[in-house]
Structure 1
Amino acid sequence: MISGNDMESSSVMMIGRKGSWLAGAAGALIAAHAPAQIAVSVNDGKQPRAGESDFRARPDNLAVIDMRRYPPRVTGTVDVPGSMIGPPTSVAMARDGSFAIVTSAQKADPADPAKFVLDNKVSLIDLTDPTAPKLVQTVEAGDGASGVAINRAGTMALVAATGDGTISVFSIAARRLTLIDTLQLDKAPGPVDIALSPDGKTAVVTQRRGNAIWRLAIDGTKVTDTGVTFPTGVNPYGSVFSRDGRYAYSTNLQGRIPAEGAPPPRGGRIGTVTAIDLRTNRIAATVEVGPLPEHVALSADGRYLAVVVVNGSAASPTSPAYSPFGLLKVYRVNGATLTSVAEAQTGQWAQGATWSDDGRTLLLQSAASRQIEVYRFDGKALVRDPAATLTFDTRPAAITTALSR
């Protein structure tokens, strides 16, 4: 409270009220022109779990989740081809939140619905009305279409295909996809995910069956292989760029590359997250995070990295690798330095995670329970809120917001 005579106090109060009104008006104006904060979850309706006796296939779909309020809630859904097979980056959202792109790596075999074959579908979803998302186009990429990335301008999308080793380059205009180029990479390592730098000039591609990541160069709509690879670890899977674009952080499902002739570690491999310095083209750091890290998600401000660790929870209960829970871990980010801050046990068969814009809420996909779990984060502790859980009749497989990558 400001001390002084009554006249001075009255003047301050009047200025304060006027300032509050102006701030409120400015906030409303900004809100009117800013995209609503939403997440989209791609859910696989055809993927059974081993030993599941009562499984019934349903259509794959995309669910829109409103994160402007707490707890988050589903506002709309639309059927679209999707797949749990592949990284939880098989969906990307435009920076302005107006559309999303979904890939499908596998589909039911037309000759035998109990089996699966590679798929190549890429779909564009109109999110102009989050309560009524619309499938407006489906096109084809390479077989096993998996990771997808959209540039900041919303004019280009890249899709990595594990089955044929290609990167499909699409232009985007008026919410329509046009295939303009296909880059052929080595098929054997299986390119599974692709991430774009903030300036749109660099992409990194993870190798599902290899031990390295490719670096690609982008000039306009021309995408080329630079010949530079990073030996990050065994089975690289997903990746994300730092907000300044200098570093890329990638998961390695099977951890560090063993020394030549070294025996396999007892108890299975510990997965890792690797920080790549793209200024020097060197591995800057590697952190052990746990068995089978599926996904890395950076907070909107770039200060925290969430890591989803399956931790044996997708294994059969009779397997020696089985665990009744997965793990969600949060690391503080300072360039190449990742410092453990918090972790929580999650549901089984965890897939992807994404942050609210303010960094206080995390959504975590649990495929086994067909749920999205909600966690609160205060910079120190990570706490699940069971009352906020979102439940589906399909398996959550991939998730994103406009600021995820």
Structure 2
Amino acid sequence: MRRSVALTALALLALPASLSAQIVLSANDGKQVRPGEDPSTRTADSVSVIDLRSYPPRVLGQVAAPASMIGPPASVAVARDSGFALVTAAQSLSADGKVEPAMTVSVIDLADPAHPTVVQTAQAGPGASGVAINRAGTLAMVASTGDDSVTVFAVQGKRLTSVGKVQLAAKARPTDVAFAPDGATGLIVAQGAGRLIPFTISGTDVKVTGEGFAPGVQPYGVSFSADGRFAYNTNLGGNPDPAGATPARGPRMGTITAVNLASGAVTPVEVGYTPEHVTISADGRYLAAVVHNGSGGAPGSPGYNPNGSLQVYRVAGTKLTKVADAPSGAWCQGALFSTDARTLLLQCAVARQIEVYRFDGKSLKRDEAATIRIDGRPGALGTALTR
């Protein structure tokens, strides 16, 4: 049996990038309980490795590792060769059972995907959230909400060495960070400041280069187009209120914005209440948005809805055209496309499962028989091509 697993691992290492990118990591938060739930329902945090190379997807292996679903679904980054991954945890459980801020970054070795291993635990800032690895696999960055910083790590031999921090203004609250495809630039999502802040890279030196873009209220996560000319992000609070208007009460209509990075033009699209995640297909043709839609609240609470929404848009620069929309489970978090864009995975926390959808370019259909059950609450996921 062990020899069979070893052969599987060797076969994965020999795969071209398009196929090795079908190895998915899901970060699962076992400590998060909903109001009214007994704390005894808590489980250990974990990271699951899912094989998306064939259908239906299946879990290859799992390892105990700190994870957090509170924060953007961008707390997983997989190296371009799928040899290792980084998983952050914005929260941990104290000895007396209280959830508190954490700054953990776990390095997970994927040489044997059926037996993932935590090979290093590093520290970023408190509230460690969005994480990214550059395409060369030599640099990583982690956004931390608790101290308004982005920690920069040099990567060598699947080990992290802290080489500095990008310190933002007080209350900037960075939630995510992403490298542009050119490897020399990128964006920080500063939720508190309401901006996408550009940076440049020289070796391991990272510097902010200007005030950036104002995409909307409470930006959350960000993805680049394949050519690096555009960025797409979610805004929990949607469009800003008109000047002089009384701020809206209750749930706000969230948006996705498409940003032309050369001109600075920002194009918003209203998608629903609390857009959690935005992800781009490998061919750049489609964008998927995960919309919370009040589904994580208690029945009867303001804005409550028993279902979220998974939406797919056709992408043409800053033009986003909706082509499919399907009701999802509740309190859903991260999503991603298979390399051929025909399958989507969607993490849903209330039911502790990953839903599987089929996409034919025109419609989305959930395959309930293919659902993947998870012990904890899945809160972030990624492949080698999603960050």
Same fold (TM over 0.5): yes
Task: Give yes or no for the alignment of 1:98 onto 2:86.
Answer: no
Distance 2:16 2:46 in 1: 28
Unaligned runs of 5+ in 1: 1-27
Aligned partner of 1:194 in structure 2 is 177
Task: Give yes or no for the alignment of 1:308 onto 2:293.
Answer: no
Structure 1's consecutive aligned runs of 4 or more residues displaced over 6 angstroms after TM superposition are none
**8 Å contact kept, 2:13–2:111:** no
Distance 2:169 2:211 in 1: 13
**8 Å contact kept, 2:256–2:271:** yes
Output the amino acid matched with 2:365. V
Alignment of 1:131-142 (within 5 A): 131-142=114-125
* Residues 255-282 of structure 1: CA deviation (Å, up to 9, x unaligned): 00111221234763110011111112x1
Aligned partner of 1:318 in structure 2 is 300
* Residues 339-386 of structure 1: CA deviation (Å, up to 9, x unaligned): 001010000000000111111000000000000000000000000000
Alignment of 1:3-402 (within 5 A): 32=15, 34=17, 36=20, 37-53=22-38, 55-110=40-95, 112-113=96-97, 115-265=98-248, 268-280=251-263, 282-402=264-384
Aligned partner of 1:16 in structure 2 is none
Distance 2:118 2:378 in 1: 18
**8 Å contact kept, 1:166–1:187:** no
Of 143-152 and 49-58, more deviation after overlay is shown by 49-58
Question: Secondary structure at the residue paired with 2:295?
Answer: coil
Distance 2:339 2:376 in 1: 26
* Residues 133-160 of structure 1: CA deviation (Å, up to 9, x unaligned): 0100001011111000000011100000
Question: Secondary structure at the residue paired with 2:216?
Answer: coil
Unaligned runs of 5+ in 2: 1-10
**8 Å contact kept, 1:307–1:329:** yes
Output the amino acid matched with 1:108. L
Distance 1:210 1:352 in 2: 24
Distance 1:346 1:124, change over 3 A: same
Aligned partner of 1:12 in structure 2 is none
Distance 1:62 1:87 in 2: 16
* Residues 212-257 of structure 1: CA deviation (Å, up to 9, x unaligned): 2211111221100112221111100010000000111010001001
The offset of 1:306, in angstroms, is 0.3
Distance 1:180 1:383, change over 3 A: same
Distance 1:55 1:310 in 2: 26
The offset of 1:318, in angstroms, is 2.1
Distance 1:176 1:124 in 2: 7
**8 Å contact kept, 1:232–1:283:** no
**8 Å contact kept, 2:33–2:39:** no
Distance 2:244 2:353 in 1: 43
**8 Å contact kept, 2:215–2:266:** no
Distance 2:184 2:46 in 1: 32
* Residues 26-78 of structure 1: CA deviation (Å, up to 9, x unaligned): xx999645553211100001000112247522211100000011000001000
Distance 1:159 1:214 in 2: 14
**8 Å contact kept, 2:251–2:302:** no
Query: TM-score scaled by structure 1?
Result: 0.90
Distance 2:170 2:69 in 1: 21
Aligned partner of 1:8 in structure 2 is none
Distance 1:345 1:221 in 2: 43
Of 79-88 and 32-41, more deviation after overlay is shown by 32-41
Count of aligned residue pairs for this structure pair: 375
Output the amino acid matched with 2:233. S
**8 Å contact kept, 1:211–1:257:** no
Question: Secondary structure at the residue paired with 1:253?
Answer: strand
| Identity value in percent | 54
Question: Secondary structure at the residue paired with 2:369?
Answer: helix
Distance 1:130 1:254, change over 3 A: same
The offset of 1:189, in angstroms, is 2.3
Distance 1:323 1:223, change over 3 A: same
Query: TM-score scaled by structure 2?
Result: 0.94
Distance 1:301 1:236 in 2: 25
**8 Å contact kept, 1:48–1:55:** no
**8 Å contact kept, 1:299–1:355:** yes
Distance 2:12 2:211 in 1: 46
Distance 1:212 1:151 in 2: 22
Higher normalized contact order (CA 8 Å, seq sep 6+, divided by chain length): 2
Question: Secondary structure at the residue paired with 2:237?
Answer: coil
Distance 2:327 2:304 in 1: 14
Distance 1:266 1:57 in 2: 34
Distance 1:174 1:195, change over 3 A: same
Distance 1:287 1:38, change over 3 A: same
